[in-house]
Structure 1
Amino acid sequence: MTQCYDGGVSRAMDNISKLLPEIQHFVLYSGSENPAESGQYSGVRKFSANPLKRFLEVRAYARELEVEVIHAHSSWAGLYSRAFRPSVPVIYEPHCYVFDDPQRHPLLRSVYRRIESFLSRHTTITVALTEHERGLAYGLDKNAKVRILPNIPTIPTVAYREDTTQAVPEIVMIGRLAPQKDPGFYQDLARLSSARGLPFKFVWIGSGTESDTDALQAAGIEVTGWLAPEEISQRLSRAWMYVHSAHYEGFPLSVLDAAAAKVPIIVRDLPCFEETQLTKVEDPEEAIATLAQAYFDPDFFASTKVGGQLLLQTMNTETHTDVLTSVYRDARIATDDTLVGTHS
């Protein structure tokens, strides 16, 4: 279940439903996308508009289906499913902890941490995406059961790609237009590029509020809205560089999609990327300097491809499926040839 069935969360949930077809997957959700159109689910139900009713809806849906596990994706679903002691095991996948956001007020971060610490008592297994996120989970509860689940691309991995020969090199970012993804960073990057006479075109794949969209477009950035996976593959196939602007993350699927498309990648220097060899930058000034160096220096450009390809050695379908299977087994739901689970 999730309150944000869109973007990376929806794609992660769809992957689970497709990789474990022997399990019956039911979805309780809200969001801009429709899981009935994208995943392999046995049933789909939308949350009511009243957030207070959602606490009861989780329990009622679980009883109705006689589910054997609840898999809660992101923080609101984690709250709805764990605020009261659950009657079935709960797997909690935060997709990045809100209290890890360095741009939030310290007092708010402390409040979020305390809430997560309380909820951790009602968690069977926490699914972390990186060592950094696992450390955060243990910081909430030193006795927590935490498993690292390597994310995987949501588009097919290409065997070979020729460097783009476009006259105007296209730089792409994929994500929700939300504060976490820091569209302001991307706007600054586009403005710096224009001010320095660099020939780049900037594209944002994703959507958000009208004001956020207008702000990006005012900076000369093309905003495509959300695209189907095959359309994302097409846009990435002609991208010169992928730049990830988010200022905190779990581990973004879009970076893995860029790696699968063999697009060179630049990311911000975040804890989730500490164990990678991706090209990292601190701020828009360093990012534009790095892009300029990649444009004028073929050897440096080639080096920006390496980190993404190394990611795919461990973040792949086989590893992902093995870990998922063991997580569900450890949650003790594998009681029958036909398993029943609900995502919330």
Structure 2
Amino acid sequence: MESNMSGRLSANSTVMHITDCYHGGVGRAINDMVANAPHLNHVFAFHGDDTPPSGLFSREIKVTGNVLSRMRRFSRLLRDSDASIAHVHSSWAGGFIRAGRNPRLPLIYQPHCYKFVDPALPRAQAVAIRLIERLLLSNTSATVVLSPAERMAAEEIGAKPTFYVPNVPSVPRGTVDAEAAPRRRVIMVGRVSHQKDPEFFEQVVRQCESEINDVEAVWVGDGDPEMVSFLRHAGVRVTGWMGTTELADLLSEGGVYIHSARYEGLPLSVLDAVQRGLPVALRRIPSLRGVLEERQFDTPKQLAAEAVRLLNDVSAYRLSIQRTLPWLEEHSNAQQQQSLRRLYDSFAAFQED
């Protein structure tokens, strides 16, 4: 390798993205990042339910099979690639690829939410996962974080350098008719999973129903069949995964966005809700420290009380939207483009002539 003295990665450089969970928020986040670094070529090896948008990647390789066979295939693809940088997304692929890293290639790791911050994990399991993440740092060139809390978690295990790359909304700007009475609906978006905590959401719904009779509860996403069945039995409409247009249209019908997750990186669904003009009420968790803290609440009862207050008061509904909109400026495409340029250009010295 010879040094590239320009300090910038050349335009013909290739970034190879790898993920084992191309769906939901992670999938949308990867798409947005690639769209915001158009000066580079992007190759994508992935496993998951989503389909890459046409023309976004210069090459796409869908990987199937069991977990072990997928990880071996990812490793072979990376070993045989002519990429300038590897950018590995999420913990499964991130762990396996870094364990067998090709030393000639800078490797960027982006957890999209560390598992060890899950407050429900037994202490021994959290310590073990944290130790594995720490050991894998020796094969990590840089770590990408999405929020102040995630940067703190990364630095606590010794990750350096870390690069903050803000998520951006995955839906176009829109508005809800705030002059009319708010639609009596509460919405959650995400994979139906332990992390997103459908039981907490169901408790919020039940509390709302004790205050107003005609509230509609919607969960956009899919996931664990037993948890999906639980939600539906509780009267929640589980829509399955939606495309960008469908999701944008549903959000703009109105209601209050509730985020029930136990732990997070920086949830795209919250950005999308604000982008489409919905007020949000978030479960207070350590992962969201420094993120819309004035819109965070501790218990299902408190979240439900806030949702009911907004649904019953047009002025409060409109004011909540107005006070949240400035947060979007921190998560613009321009901000993400600048952050990605800093991230990728930091490896210009590894550029081959």
TM-score, L = length of structure 1: 0.90
Cross-structure match for 1:260? 275
* Deviation (angstroms), 1:38: 5.6
**Mapping 1:194-213, distance limit 5 Å:** 194-213=209-228
Q: Amino acid of the residue matched to residue 273 of structure 1?
A: L
Counterpart-to-counterpart distance in 2, 1:12 and 1:114 = 27
SS, match of residue 56 in structure 2: coil
Verify: 1:182 aligned to 2:197, yes or no: yes
* Alignment partners' CA distance in 1, 2:299 and 2:32: 33
Matched residues in 2 for 1:246 and 1:335: separation? 40
User: Which residue matches 1:108?
Assistant: 125
Relative distance call for 1:334 and 1:28 in structure 2 (3 A) is same
Percent of aligned pairs sharing the same letter? 31
188-197 vs 313-322, which moves further = 188-197
Q: Could you tell me whether the CA contact under 8 Å between 1:258 and 1:308 is conserved in 2?
A: no
Q: Alignment partner of 2:92: what SS? A: helix
Partner of 2:238: 223
Indicate the SS of the match to 2:345: helix
Matched, 1:191 2:206: yes
Gaps of 5+ in 2: 1-17
Q: CA deviation at 1:175?
A: 0.5
Q: Which residue of 2 aligns with 1:249?
A: 264
Residue identity opposite 2:96 in structure 1: Y
**What per-residue deviation string (whole Å, max 9, x for no partner) do you get for residues 292-327 of structure 1?**
222334454344324531221111100001101110
Deviation at 1:269, TM superposition (A): 1.0
Structure 1 ranges of 4+ moved more than 6 A: none
- Structure 2 residue aligned with 1:24, among 22, 41, 44? 41
Q: Which amino acid aligns with 2:135?
A: F
d(CA) in 1 for partners of 2:55 and 2:129? 31
Measure the CA separation in 2 of the matches of 1:51 and 1:173: 29
CA RMSD of aligned residues (A): 2.1
- Hey, what does 1:59 align to over in structure 2? 75
Unaligned runs of 5+ in 1: 338-344
Alignment of 1:268-307 (within 5 A): 268-277=283-292, 278-307=294-323
Structure-to-structure mapping, 1:2-17, within 5 angstroms: 2-17=19-34
Equivalent in the alignment of 1:308: 324
Give, in whole Å, the separation in 2 of the partners of 1:331 and 1:57: 25
SS of aligned partner of 1:137: helix
Residue 238 of structure 1, aligned match among 242, 253, 260 = 253
CA 1:250–1:224: 2 relative to 1, 3 Å: same
- 1:116-127 map, 5 Å: 116-127=133-144
Contact 2:181 2:314 in 1 (8 A): no
